[in-house]
Amino acid sequence: MTISSASPGLAMPDPKNRLFGPLPDVSAEAGYEEDHPKRVGFFTDTSVCIGCKACEVACKEWNTLPMDDSFGVKDAMGLSGMSYDNTGQLGANSWRHVAFIEQSRAVDLPMPTFGRPGDDRHDHGASPTTPGDDFSLANAQQSVLNAEALSEFDPQTGQTGADKQIRWLMSSDVCKHCTHAGCLDVCPTGALFRTEFGTVVVQQDICNGCGYCVAACPYGVIDQRKEDGRVFKCTMCYDRLTDGLQPACATACPTQSIQFGDLDELQERADARLATLKAQGVETARLYGRDENDGVGGDGAFFLLLDEPEVYGLPPDPIVTTRDLPAMWKAAGKAAVMMIGVAVTAVLGSRRR
Amino acid sequence: MTGGITSPDAGWRQADRGPSTQHTTKKRRKRGGGRGRGEVAMVDDVEFTSYYGRQIVKTPVWKSPDVPLYLFLGGAAGSSSILAAIADLTDRPTLTRVGRYTAGAGSLLSVVALVHDLGRPERFLHMLRVFKPTSPLSVGTYILSPFSAAAAATAAVELLGWFPRLKRFGGVVSAIFGGPLATYTGVLLANTAVPSWHAAHEQLPYVFGGSAMAAGGGISMIFVPVDEAGPARKMAVAGAAIELAVVHRVENDHGIESEPYHEGRPGKLMQAAKTCTAVGAGLTVLAGRTRIGAIASGTLLAAGSLLTRFGVFEAGIASTKDPKYVVIPQRERLAAQQNGHASTITR
C-alpha cells in the first residue's frame, strides 16, 4: 500500500493550493520529476466550430467506443428529437460531444445593409500592412472569418423574415482535465491518475466501478458503462501523446476549432483570439475554464464561448467538491466525538440495575 | 437574477424551444406538513437557461437499496459498538451483548452492501492499494475494514463465549472506529458535485451521527430488558433530537438546493422519517420503560433512521436530474462575487 501522490492530504490551510486555487505545475504536484513534459490541453474555439462532428467520429474510431444513444443506452440508435445533436451528452461512450443551439432574436431596427464581406475591413483597422499583398489578403480572409462572421455578417446567422434573426451555436465539449480534478481526488483505488502531460486518465485494469468519480465531476463528464461496471472518459488520447501524436479529435477538426498544444501557449492564443473578437465587436465572446482562479484551478481543456456556459450545458461556476473537504472532515470528526460523548453521558447518567 | 442571465447580448434566445430550455422556476413554498406556518418562500421566480433541459452533473450510479442500506447499517453498527463498549466497562452484560451482536451483524451486512454496489465487486480489494485522505470512500474503507473485523470477531466470541479479555479489547477497538464509521458517510455523500448533498456538507455528518444513535439505541431497546436499557433509551432520544434538529437545517438553510428534500418521493421519505423519529423519541420518553413501549418506540426510531438515509439519498439523486439545481446556485454565487469583491472571477 502506498500513500497516493494524488492525495494532498489534510493539510488544512492548504498553502500550496493542493486542494484548490491556481497550481502552476500540476504534474510536479502529482509527483513527476522536474523533466516531465509540459502540460498540454485543448483550446476549443467554438466561434469557428461548424458542427461537423468529425471530432466525435475520430474519437469513437480511435478509442473504439461503443455506440449508444443520446441518453447513454448502449447499442441503441435513437434520435434525440431536439436538434442535430443526437449524441446528447458526454458519457462513458461519448468523449467528445458537439452541442447545437439554435437561437433567435427579435430585430427592432432595420438591418444594416452590407457590401461584400470584407469590404469594410479597413474600418476595423484589421489590416496594418499595405493593401494588395498576399499577407493582407490572408488578413482579409481572416477578417471575414473573424469579424463579420461573428458580428454583422455571421454565416451562422440568417434572417427569417424582417423581424427575426436566427443563429447557431456549436461547441465540441470534452473532459476538462481540471487542475483540481474532483474525479481524481475522490477515486479510492488510484485508478484515476495524473499523467506526465498534466491530463487525467482512468487505468482500466484498476478501476473497480465504485462510481464515486461520476458523482464528483462538476461537469458531468465521466460515466459508468453499465454492462462493464467500470468508468470511462476522455484520455486526451494518452496513447497518442506518448507517441508524439496529437489527439484524434484535434487532428480531425477541419476548422481548427479544436486546438491541441502546450497549455500555456494555448492560453496565450485564446487570449489573443478573445481580444480580436472583442475588438471586432463580438461582445458575448468569453473564455470558459481559462481562469486559473476559478473553482477548479483552471481547465486543461478550455473554451471560447459565444453565450453563457449553461446555454451549452456547462456549469456557470463549477467548484471542485474537495475544496470543502477539510471542513467536512472536521464536521465528521466532531460528530464522531459527539456520538461518544452522548453515549458516555447516556450510560453514566443511567442508574445501574 | 431574472432576465439578463440568458441574454447579456442582444437578446439571443433559444429558438422555438421556449418551454424546454428557457425555464422559470415556479414560486414554491415549503410544505412542512403542518409546520409550514410562518415559513417564507424558499425560491423566488428565477429564469435560467439550460441545454435542452438536460442535466449538467451526472446522476450518481450508486444503487438504491445498497447505498442507503449501507449508510443505515454502518450507522447502527457504529453507535451500537460504542454503546456496547461503554456498557461493558460499566458491567451491563445484556446491553453489551446486544450491542455487540448489532455491531457485528451490521458491519458484515454493510460490507456486503458496499461490495455489492461496486461495478466490479471482485475488485473490492483494489480499495486497499492506496490510502487517499481526499477520497472519503478510501478513508471509509480504512474505517470499515478494522471496524468490521473487530466488531464481527467480538460478536463471534460473544456468541461462542470464548476469550473474555480479547472480547473486551475487540469491543473497544470497534467502538473507536464506530463513531467515524457512522459520521464519515455524511462526508461520503457531501464530497460530490451533487447539489443537495454538497450544500449540506457541514450538516450531513451530524445528521448521520444523530440518526445512527437513534437507530443503535432503538435496536438495543427492542432486545434489552427495560431495566437495563436506560442508556440505550437516553442515547436514542438524544440521537433523535440531534437528527431532527440538523435535518431541519438541511431542509431549510440552502435555498433552492434544499428544495429536493421537500418534493416528490424524497420529500415523502423525509416526512415519514421525521414522523417516525419524532414519534419514536416521544414514545421512548413516555412508554420506553414498558416492554411493548420499548419495542414499538425502538422500531420507530430504527425505521426513522432508515427512512432518513433513503430520503437524503434520493433527494441528492433528484437534485442531479434538474439543471436548475446546478445553474441557479452557481449564478447566485457569481452574482454575489461580482457585487462583493469583483476581482475574484474574471471570465
Cβ-Cβ contacts under 8 Å between A and B: the total is: 339
Residues A195 and A344 in one domain: no
Q: Per the annotation, does A217 bind a ligand? A: yes
User: So what's the pLDDT on residue A158?
Assistant: 53
d(CA B171, CA B159): 13
In a domain, A36, yes or no: yes
Please provide the average confidence, as pLDDT, over all residues in chain A: 85
**Containing structural domain, residue A261:** 26-112+152-319
Q: What is the pLDDT of residues A136-145, one digit of tens each?
A: 545 544 544 4
Q: Which residues, numbered 96 to 155 in chain B, qualify as contacts with chain A under a Cβ-Cβ cut-off of 8 Å?
A: 117-121, 123-124, 126-138, 141
User: So what's the pLDDT on residue A269?
Assistant: 97
Is B94 a residue whose pLDDT tops 50? yes
Query: Which among A4, A335, A342 has the least Cβ separation from residue B205?
Result: A335
Nearest-by-CA chain A residue for B84? A343
Summarize the confidence of residues B232-246 as an average pLDDT. Answer: 98
Say what angle helices B164-190 and B136-160 make with each other, to 10 degrees. 150
In a domain, A13, yes or no: no
Q: What is the pLDDT of residues B257-289, one digit of tens each?
A: 999 999 999 999 999 999 999 999 999 999 999
Identify from B132, B204, B233, B314 which residue to disrupt to test chain A contact, counting A C-beta atoms within 10 A and taking the largest count.
Answer: B132
C-alpha dist (Å) from residue B173 to A131, B207, B336: 84, 24, 47
Q: What is the ipTM of this complex?
A: 0.89
Nearest-by-CA chain A residue for B322? A313
- The alpha-helical segments, DSSP class H, found in chain B are 18-21, 66-89, 93-117, 136-160, 164-190, 195-198, 204-223, 230-252, 264-287, 291-321, 324-340
- A76 Cβ under 8 Å from any chain B Cβ: no
Residues A219 and A343 in one domain: no
Q: What is the pLDDT of residues A277-323, one digit of tens each?
A: 999 999 899 999 999 999 999 999 999 999 999 999 999 999 999 99
A31 sits in the region (left: phi over 0; alpha: psi -120 to 50; else beta) called left
Query: Which among A1, A217, A339 has the least Cβ separation from residue B131?
Result: A1
Summarize the confidence of residues B296-325 as an average pLDDT. Answer: 97
In a domain, A121, yes or no: no
Residues A315 and A330 in one domain: no
Q: Give the best-scoring range by mean pLDDT among A155-159, B22-26, B99-103.
A: B99-103
In a domain, A240, yes or no: yes
Residue type, B274: K
Is A67 a residue whose pLDDT tops 70? yes
* Total count of residues recorded for chain B: 347
Residues A192 and A69 in one domain: yes
Is A55 a residue whose pLDDT tops 50? yes
CATH number, domain of A72, equals 3.30.70.20
Residues A310 and A344 in one domain: no
Residues A263 and A348 in one domain: no
Residues A284 and A199 in one domain: yes
Is B111 a residue whose pLDDT tops 60? yes
Evaluate whether A294 touches B345 at the Cβ level (below 8 Å).
yes
Residues A173 and A283 in one domain: yes
Say whether A342 and B86 touch across the interface (CB within 8 A): no
Say whether B119 and A231 touch across the interface (CB within 8 A): yes
Collect all residues of chain A within an 8 Å Cβ-Cβ radius of residue B87. 347
Beta strand residue intervals within A252-353, DSSP E: 258-262, 286-288, 301-305
Q: What is the pLDDT of residues B139-166, one digit of tens each?
A: 999 999 999 999 999 999 999 988 888 8
Residues A291 and A192 in one domain: yes
Say whether A6 and B134 touch across the interface (CB within 8 A): yes
Query: Which among A1, A287, A339 has the least Cβ separation from residue B79?
Result: A339
In a domain, A132, yes or no: no
Residues A352 and A300 in one domain: no
Is B43 a residue whose pLDDT tops 80? no
Buried b / exposed e along B209-220 (16+ C-beta atoms within 10 A): bbbbbbbbbbbb
Residues A180 and A281 in one domain: yes
Residues A309 and A350 in one domain: no
The number of folded domains in chain A is 2
- Judged on CB neighbours under 10 Å (0-12, 13-18, 19+), B333 is middle
Q: Which residues, numbered 257 to 286 in chain B, qualify as contacts with chain A under a Cβ-Cβ cut-off of 8 Å?
A: none
Domain boundaries of chain B, sorted by first residue: 66-327
Confidence of residue B189 (pLDDT cuts 50, 70, 90): very high
Identify from A287, A347, A348 which residue to disrupt to test chain B contact, counting B C-beta atoms within 10 A and taking the largest count.
Answer: A347
Q: Please name the residues in contact with A162: beta carbons below 8 A apart, sequence gap of 6 or more.
A: A107
Copy the grid coordinates of residue A23: 497550481
Q: Looking at domain B66-327, which of 1.10.1200.10, 1.20.1630.10, 3.50.50.60, 3.30.470.10 is its CATH number?
A: 1.20.1630.10
pTM equals 0.87
